[in-house]
């Protein structure tokens, strides 16, 4: 019953605030109102309009998390967004896959496995992350990527299926895996 109430509150808040512009203040207010919906929710949670999260009771959100417009998160298998995670527009996190029974996927039981986005990771627009994937600390997923395997820390991945494109760079443009200058 609690899960139903949490989900109902999520739907109510998103519909009641969906007409408001996605200014920082509004996104923070929306995130604050949604805190009771999740297993855990940190401070400064920002969520844009038209985002959808199902099975909210299986979702953990860290501090300073941002979820962009139109993102869809399926929490059935569990989803953890660590501190400073950003989801780009229309990101999909699907924590359950269909299974086949009698030659059909229609009535197969879901194969649920958790998705974890570690501290400081980022998904570009239209990224799909499948069940059981961990995206490492400080990693980025290029727009349109379909992430089917774990992503090592400080790596940029892209493509379908996603493959490493190189090390993530810091603000000065230098690769993170290089030694700092003397």
- How distant is the alpha carbon of residue 179 from its chain centre? 31
Terminal Cα-to-Cα distance of the chain (whole angstroms): 59
Contact 13, 19 (CB under 8 A): no
Q: Is the distance from CB of 131 to CB of 96 less than 8 angstroms? A: yes
Question: Burial, 163: exposed, middle or buried (Cβ in 10 Å; 0-12, 13-18, 19+)?
Answer: exposed
Q: CB–CB of 142/124 below 8 Å?
A: yes
Is 98 tagged catalytic? Answer: yes
Contacts of 63 (CB under 8 A, 6+ apart): 42, 43, 44, 83, 84
Q: Among the options 15, 98, 149, 163, which is catalytic?
A: 98
Q: Which residue numbers are catalytic?
A: 98
């Amino acid at each position: 019953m609690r899960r139903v109430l949490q989900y109902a509150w999520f739907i109510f808040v998103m519909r009641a605030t969906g007409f408001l512009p996605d200014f920082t203040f509004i996104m923070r207010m929306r995130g604050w109102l949604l805190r009771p919906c999740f297993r855990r929710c940190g401070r400064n949670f920002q969520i844009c309009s038209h985002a959808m999260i199902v099975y909210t009771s299986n979702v953990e959100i860290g501090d300073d998390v941002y979820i962009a417009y139109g993102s869809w998160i399926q929490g059935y298998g569990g989803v953890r967004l660590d501190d400073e995670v950003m989801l780009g527009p229309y990101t999909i996190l699907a924590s359950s896959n269909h299974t086949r029974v009698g030659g059909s996927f229609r009535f197969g039981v879901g194969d649920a496995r958790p998705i974890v986005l570690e501290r400081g990771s980022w998904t570009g627009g239209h990224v799909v992350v499948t069940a059981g994937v961990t995206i490492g600390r400080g990693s980025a997923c290029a727009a349109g990527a379909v992430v089917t395997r774990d992503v090592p820390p400080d790596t940029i991945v892209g493509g379908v299926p996603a493959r490493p494109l190189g090390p993530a760079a810091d603000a000065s443009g230098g690769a993170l895996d290089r030694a700092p200058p003397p």
